């Protein structure tokens, strides 16, 4: 029984009052626990792939309101992708699915996407809430860019594969202020008082501040944490920082209520406003990557197969760039697939020259990752949250 | 006693007339201002539904277009989201109002044991922060292994938190209700059920309608509790929240405006219908 | 239906039954889980264990009493504002609405149809630092030259008030609408001025609506988090924000649970005091 059970099927069974009403029960009837159902599936693709992702993270055809790469996938392999954009925040999504996962229940999803500069990605892997990838189904994994091959939360890429990456830096509005190119400027320049925001994500914010302090964000110590924390606290107390935001800084920036904001690269590219400029801060910025995971109970083979499809440079190029001639908008973040750039150029040349989508080597050298163990340090987290909700 | 200029009779009349005019209309003017204030964001939403944004964001006016209305479901997922929200809103508000009205009747009309407990039970859901309300309901569902998340779990949750609103709203009406009308009906030979149907219910109707509207509004706007108990279903607020974080497409404005217009139109028909009935009567 | 005559004692329980049962299963039981969680200790890494950890409650008060108090303050202020703003309108609809009543009621809840986030974003546009409102207030010297409305406590309270207006206005209307106009006429026949008639007749008769509206506004407003998050600075955050972060970011479920109970307790105390002042009949309704 390799078909992914749909909710409708489960409801039907419920109505029939069948005894095998739990997913583990049903899978047991199929001759295997949730864990081993993947190993047993004899390389047969399921009819449906349940893919949960963040919003606006897939190539979209605005006229036919469909996702071209997913349509193509279905045409080629006969698998319908049930694509749901119900992830808008790592914390709330994790809060939503952890109950079921901690009880060994399936969440009816084959692929979910979480960010690496938040604690939940590593937590999912650490707590065993995810299935191992079927690497034999992902030969295209060799196209993964080198820098992503051995992240510290998943040394051998057994459980995760990057979806897209982005950078954290500083955006400023040139009609209101001169260039704001450093964290120093952002946090202490009196001309910007009350007109800057900081990100509420500890991983993002402290990476930037630590780099500005000359510390290494990938190896956080109490000392470097406190130094960075106190700097931010000072900016809060002096009312330099107006608010802590998620990506709701975008409307505030666009309105002109902010002169500068700590922000994510992709958002600014999408703002469509020539007066708002994004830069990697002088002392360095952050690199974050959204990763695909297979939650427990997901169909490993089909999910892995899809990942392989996505790691084909030609497919990735189309997804990334879209195709303006056919009214397809692309993803416009940083693809993790080597060679995608060449293909993207063919569909939309302007995209290949956009440093926010295909960053220069110089840019890539100046962005850093945050220490994963620090992300799970309860003490640091509590302190940070108390600062945000003073 | 100092001398006060006493207005003569004619001046007094004009003054009184002017004051009466102001008094009669100040309330109307105030109320109109109130509605302007209330509906101001709706107006902004409506205007921006015609915006032609160049990027993902719809915050600054960039140009007029009918495109958003033409391709109102041009954003994948928006159509099913809004239908789901409307469906749940209607069903949940009907059931919650029915249950709430019954509770309100019991509380106001009858003596029974456990009155204080019932009152506390009604107030508690209102005071529980949404996130723990949603999460603890999720825990309940998780422990009932036959439950699958989706339409039914969302519906159950919505009814649960709407009941209290319905109770309090209808109760406000029943507390001051004149029992004499019912007594008169029964004196005239009607039994309890007929009295209820022909006297109590019509007189309580405005409160029931108000409760329905309130429950519907709450349900169609709920985010946190729904999020935790929706499985992979996406309601309209969930859709908007996801999209707005990154850049709400103008279609969201279109839908919001459309719901508003449809509801207003429905009510207008209601007004015309009532006028027709009065003319005939 | 003589069944009801004979079993009169049963009627209230039959009426209460379905609704209370619903709440019992889908609210009280979850609340039980929550109570259990509030006495646990541990964290996500090592798991949670039930340890009668009453310390959670003490820590919650010790560390976050500022936010608790602030929440009650903001909610109280918003409730008073909502009452003052909505009462005249509810009166107007009830007495002058005529056949337009239902339509006007619809307009009151209309903002809810466009989702919270959108209408808050619209308000942010209206209250923008460079917007018409702020500029006007600056030229009237109500605000300093670099003053702003957003990211202040004023914005948060205004946001809460706006979002809870229907919760106040509808119960007020419900209560006002049933007032018999002849009572007011009688008062005026007895030489009362319009104002006196209002104060002596209308207002007291509308008290159940006032009570209902204030409860429906104050209670949920105290636990609100979204206004503070979008419209406030860190120093304006309410207890709802803290509970939110305890639950989601810190996965500190025992803390979130215990804080929720403290919030509920605080609200119940406030409501009990309120009931004293107003008189319990209005609050709970007189039995037949």
What's the confidence (pLDDT) of residue A38? 42
Is A121 or C42 the better-scoring residue by pLDDT? A121
Ranges in chain C, pLDDT < 70: 1-8, 280-288
Ramachandran angles phi, psi of C27, nearest 5°: -125, -50
Question: Yes or no: is domain C57-284 CATH 3.40.50.1970?
Answer: no
Q: Please count the other Cβ atoms lying within 10 Å of the Cβ belonging to residue B257.
A: 23
Nearest CA in chain B to A102: B142
Residue where the block lists tokens 């009406």: B173
Strand partners, A54: A87
CB contact under 8 A, C233 and A256: no
Task: With beta carbons under 8 A apart, name residues in chain A contacting C245.
Answer: 385, 388-389
CB contact under 8 A, C219 and B123: yes
Touching subunits for chain A (3+ Cβ pairs under 8 A): B, C
CB contact under 8 A, C250 and A382: yes
What's the confidence (pLDDT) of residue A386? 92
- Which residues, 6+ apart, have CB-to-CB distance to B231 below 8 Å? A7, A108, B148, B149, B150, B153
pLDDT, tens digit, for every residue of A203-259? Answer: 999 999 999 999 999 899 999 999 999 999 999 999 999 999 887 888 788 888 899
Q: Tell me what the mean pLDDT of segment B123-128 comes to.
A: 90
Of residues B55, B75, B142, nearest to A270 (C-beta): B55
β A48-54/A80-87 pair status? parallel
What is the ipTM, given to two decimal places? 0.85
Residue B148 touches chain C, beta carbons under 8 Å: no
Q: Is the pTM of this model over 0.90?
A: no
Phi-psi region of A332 (alpha: psi -120 to 50; beta: other; left: phi over 0): left
What's the confidence (pLDDT) of residue B244? 65
Q: Determine contact, residues C220/B164, Cβ cutoff 8 Å.
A: no
Q: Which of A305-309, A349-353, B215-219, C284-288 has the lowest mean pLDDT?
A: C284-288
In order of start, what are the domains of chain B with their CATH numbers?
8-75+253-281 (no CATH), 77-248 (1.10.3720.10)
Cα–Cα distance for residue pair C129/C190, rounded to 1 Å: 54
* pLDDT exceeds 50 at position A12: no
What's the confidence (pLDDT) of residue A270? 66
Q: Determine contact, residues C94/C100, Cβ cutoff 8 Å.
A: no
Ordered strands of the A60-61 beta sheet: A60-61, A328-329, A322-323
Note the helical H segments in chain B.
9-48, 67-70, 78-109, 115-127, 130-143, 151-175, 179-187, 192-195, 201-221, 224-229, 236-246, 250-280
Strand partners, A166: A288
What's the confidence (pLDDT) of residue C1? 45
Cα–Cα distance for residue pair A352/A355, rounded to 1 Å: 8
For residue A142, name the pLDDT band (cuts at 50, 70, 90): very high
CB contact under 8 A, A257 and C121: no
Helix axes C153-177, C55-96, angle to 10 degrees: 50
Give chain A's mean pLDDT: 84
Is B154 or C124 the better-scoring residue by pLDDT? B154
What's the confidence (pLDDT) of residue B208? 92
Longest dimension (CA), chain C: 76
Of residues C19, C102, C208, nearest to B103 (C-beta): C19
CATH topology of domain A166-288+362-388: D-Maltodextrin-Binding Protein; domain 2 (3.40.190)
- Which residues, 6+ apart, have CB-to-CB distance to C88 below 8 Å? B27, B30, B31, B34
For residue A66, name the pLDDT band (cuts at 50, 70, 90): confident
In total, chain C counts a number of residues equal to 288
What's the confidence (pLDDT) of residue A297? 92
* pLDDT exceeds 90 at position A81: yes
In total, chain B counts a number of residues equal to 281
Touching subunits for chain B (3+ Cβ pairs under 8 A): A, C
Cα–Cα distance for residue pair A371/B134, rounded to 1 Å: 32
Q: Determine contact, residues A181/A282, Cβ cutoff 8 Å.
A: yes
Q: Determine contact, residues A144/A338, Cβ cutoff 8 Å.
A: yes
Helix axes B130-143, C239-248, angle to 10 degrees: 30
pLDDT, tens digit, for every residue of B100-118? Answer: 999 999 998 888 888 888 9
Phi-psi region of A17 (alpha: psi -120 to 50; beta: other; left: phi over 0): left
Nearest to B252 by CA among B36, B39, B35, B56: B56
Residue B63 touches chain A, beta carbons under 8 Å: no
Phi-psi region of A111 (alpha: psi -120 to 50; beta: other; left: phi over 0): beta
Nearest to B252 by CA among C25, C121, A259: C121
Residue A257 touches chain C, beta carbons under 8 Å: yes
Q: Determine contact, residues A106/A6, Cβ cutoff 8 Å.
A: no
What's the confidence (pLDDT) of residue B222? 92
pLDDT, tens digit, for every residue of A20-34? Answer: 333 333 333 333 333
User: Nearest CA to CA, how far is B63 from chain C (Å)?
Assistant: 17
Q: Tell me what the mean pLDDT of segment B222-226 comes to.
A: 91
- Which residues, 6+ apart, have CB-to-CB distance to B143 below 8 Å? none
Which tokens in the block code for residue B60?
Answer: 């600054």
Q: Which of A30-34, B129-133, B170-174, C264-268 has the lowest mean pLDDT?
A: A30-34
Cα–Cα distance for residue pair A174/C144, rounded to 1 Å: 24
What's the confidence (pLDDT) of residue A273? 76
Mutate to test the interface with A, among B247, B249, B250, B254 (most CBs of A within 10 A): B247
* pLDDT exceeds 80 at position B215: yes
Q: What percent of chain A has pLDDT over 70?
A: 88
What's the confidence (pLDDT) of residue B60? 64
Which tokens in the block code for residue A127?
Answer: 């707590």
Q: Determine contact, residues B108/C285, Cβ cutoff 8 Å.
A: yes
Nearest CA in chain A to C242: A389
Which range, A52-66, B88-102, C171-185, has the best average confidence (pLDDT)?
Answer: B88-102
* pLDDT exceeds 60 at position A40: no
- Which residues, 6+ apart, have CB-to-CB distance to A260 below 8 Å? A170, A171, A172, A173, A177, A180, A185, A186, A192, A195, A196
CB contact under 8 A, C148 and A376: no
Residue B139 touches chain A, beta carbons under 8 Å: yes
pLDDT, tens digit, for every residue of A157-188? Answer: 999 999 999 999 999 999 999 999 999 999 99
What's the confidence (pLDDT) of residue B6? 67
Give me the total of CB pairs closer than 8 Å, taking one residue from chain A and one from chain C: 72
The residues in A 78-137 lying below 8 A from B, measured between CB atoms, are 82-89, 92, 95-96, 99-100, 103, 105, 108-109
Mutate to test the interface with B, among A18, A34, A65, A247 (most CBs of B within 10 A): A65
CATH of domain A7-159+294-311: 3.40.190.10
CB contact under 8 A, A85 and B231: no
For residue B70, name the pLDDT band (cuts at 50, 70, 90): confident
What's the confidence (pLDDT) of residue C96? 86
Q: Which of B120-129, B246-255, C137-146, C205-214 has the lowest mean pLDDT?
A: B246-255
Q: Please count the other Cβ atoms lying within 10 Å of the Cβ belonging to residue C108.
A: 27
Q: Determine contact, residues B69/B49, Cβ cutoff 8 Å.
A: yes
Cα–Cα distance for residue pair A265/A276, rounded to 1 Å: 11
């Amino acid at each position: 029984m390799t078909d992914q059970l749909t909710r409708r099927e489960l409801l039907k069974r419920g109505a029939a009052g069948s005894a095998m009403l739990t997913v583990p029960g049903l899978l047991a009837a199929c001759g295997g626990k949730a864990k081993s159902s993947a190993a047993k599936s004899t390389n047969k693709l399921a009819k449906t792939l349940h893919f949960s992702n963040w919003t606006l993270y897939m190539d979209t055809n605005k006229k036919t309101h469909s996702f071209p790469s997913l349509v193509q996938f279905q045409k080629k392999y006969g698998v319908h992708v049930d694509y749901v954009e119900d992830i808008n925040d790592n914390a709330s999504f994790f809060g939503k699915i952890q109950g079921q996962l901690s009880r060994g229940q399936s969440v009816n999803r084959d692929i979910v996407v979480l960010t690496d500069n938040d604690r939940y990605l590593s937590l999912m892997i650490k707590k065993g809430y995810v299935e191992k990838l079927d690497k034999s189904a992902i030969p295209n994994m060799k196209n993964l860019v080198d820098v992503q091959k051995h992240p510290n939360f998943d040394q051998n890429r057994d459980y995760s594969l990057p979806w897209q990456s982005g950078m954290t830096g500083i955006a400023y509005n040139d009609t209101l202020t001169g260039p704001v190119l450093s964290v120093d400027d952002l946090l202490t320049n009196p001309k910007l008082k009350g007109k800057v925001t900081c990100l509420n994500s500890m991983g993002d914010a402290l990476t930037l501040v630590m780099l500005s302090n000359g510390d290494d964000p990938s190896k956080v110590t109490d000392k470097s944490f406190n130094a960075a924390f106190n700097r931010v606290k000072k900016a809060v107390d002096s009312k330099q920082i107006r608010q802590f935001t998620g990506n709701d800084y975008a409307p505030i920036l666009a309105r002109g209520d902010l002169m500068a904001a700590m922000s994510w690269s992709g958002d600014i590219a999408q703002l469509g406003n020539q007066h708002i400029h994004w830069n990697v801060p002088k002392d360095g910025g952050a690199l974050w990557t959204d990763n695909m995971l297979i939650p427990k109970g997901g169909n490993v083979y089909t999910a892995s197969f899809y990942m392989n499809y996505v790691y084909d440079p030609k497919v990735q190029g189309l997804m990334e760039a879209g195709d303006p001639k056919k009214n397809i908008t692309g993803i416009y973040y940083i693809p993790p697939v080597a060679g995608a750039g060449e293909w993207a150029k063919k569909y939309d040349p302007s995209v290949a020259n956009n440093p926010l989508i295909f960053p220069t080597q110089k840019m890539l050298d100046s962005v850093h990752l945050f220490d994963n163990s620090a992300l799970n340090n309860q003490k640091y987290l509590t302190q940070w949250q108390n600062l945000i909700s003073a | 006693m100092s001398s006060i200029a006493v207005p003569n009779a004619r001046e007094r009349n004009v003054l009184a007339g002017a004051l009466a005019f102001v008094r009669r209309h100040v309330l109307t003017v105030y109320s109109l201002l109130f509605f302007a204030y209330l509906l101001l964001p709706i107006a902004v939403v409506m205007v921006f539904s015609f915006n032609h944004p160049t990027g993902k964001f719809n915050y600054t006016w960039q140009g007029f277009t009918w495109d958003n209305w033409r391709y109102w479901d041009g954003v994948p997922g928006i159509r099913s989201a809004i239908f789901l929200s409307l469906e749940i809103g209607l069903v949940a508000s009907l059931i919650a109002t029915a249950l709430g009205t019954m509770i309100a009747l019991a509380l106001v009309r009858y003596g029974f044991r456990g009155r204080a407990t019932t009152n506390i039970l009604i107030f508690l859901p209102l005071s529980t922060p949404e996130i723990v309300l949603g999460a603890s309901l999720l825990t309940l569902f998780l422990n009932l292994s036959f439950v699958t998340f989706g339409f039914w779990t969302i519906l159950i949750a919505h009814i649960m938190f709407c009941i209290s609103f319905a109770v309090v709203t209808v109760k406000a009406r029943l507390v001051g209700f004149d029992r004499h009308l019912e007594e008169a009906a029964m004196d005239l030979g009607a039994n309890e059920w007929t009295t209820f149907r022909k006297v109590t219910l019509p007189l309580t109707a405005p409160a029931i309608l108000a409760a329905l509207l309130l429950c519907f509004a709450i349900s169609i706007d709920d985010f946190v509790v729904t999020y935790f108990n929706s499985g992979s279903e996406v309601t309209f607020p969930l859709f908007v929240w996801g999209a707005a974080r990154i850049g709400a497409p103008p279609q969201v404005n279109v839908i919001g405006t459309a719901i508003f217009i449809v509801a207003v139109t429905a009510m207008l028909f209601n007004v015309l219908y009532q006028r027709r009935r009065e003319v005939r009567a | 239906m003589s069944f009801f005559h004979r079993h009169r004692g049963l009627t209230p329980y039959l009426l209460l039954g379905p609704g209370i049962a619903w709440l019992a299963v889908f609210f009280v039981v979850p609340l039980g889980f929550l109570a259990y969680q509030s006495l646990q200790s541990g964290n996500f890494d090592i798991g949670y264990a039930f340890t009668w950890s009453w310390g959670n409650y003490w820590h919650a008060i010790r560390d976050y009493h500022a936010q608790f108090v602030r929440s009650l303050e903001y909610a109280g202020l918003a409730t008073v504002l909502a009452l003052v703003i909505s009462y005249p309108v509810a009166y107007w609809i009830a007495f002058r609405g005529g056949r337009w009543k239902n339509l006007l009621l619809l307009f009151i809840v209309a903002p809810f149809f466009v989702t919270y986030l959108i209408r808050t974003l619209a308000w942010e546009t209206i209250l923008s630092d460079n917007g018409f409102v702020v500029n006007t207030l600056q030229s009237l010297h109500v605000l300093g030259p670099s003053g702003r409305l957003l990211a202040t406590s004023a914005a948060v309270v205004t946001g809460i008030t706006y979002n809870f207006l229907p919760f106040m206005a509808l119960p007020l209307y419900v209560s006002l609408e049933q007032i018999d106009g002849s009572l007011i006429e009688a008062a005026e026949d007895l030489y009362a001025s319009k104002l006196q008639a209002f104060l002596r007749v209308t207002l007291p008769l509308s008290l159940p609506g006032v009570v209902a509206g204030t409860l429906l506004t104050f209670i949920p407003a105290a636990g609100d988090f979204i206004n503070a998050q979008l419209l406030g600075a860190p120093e304006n955050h309410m207890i709802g924000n803290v509970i939110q972060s305890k639950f989601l970011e810190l996965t500190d479920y025992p803390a979130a649970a215990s804080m929720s109970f403290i919030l509920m307790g605080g609200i119940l105390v406030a409501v009990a005091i309120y009931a004293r002042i107003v008189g319990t009949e209005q609050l709970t309704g007189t039995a037949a």
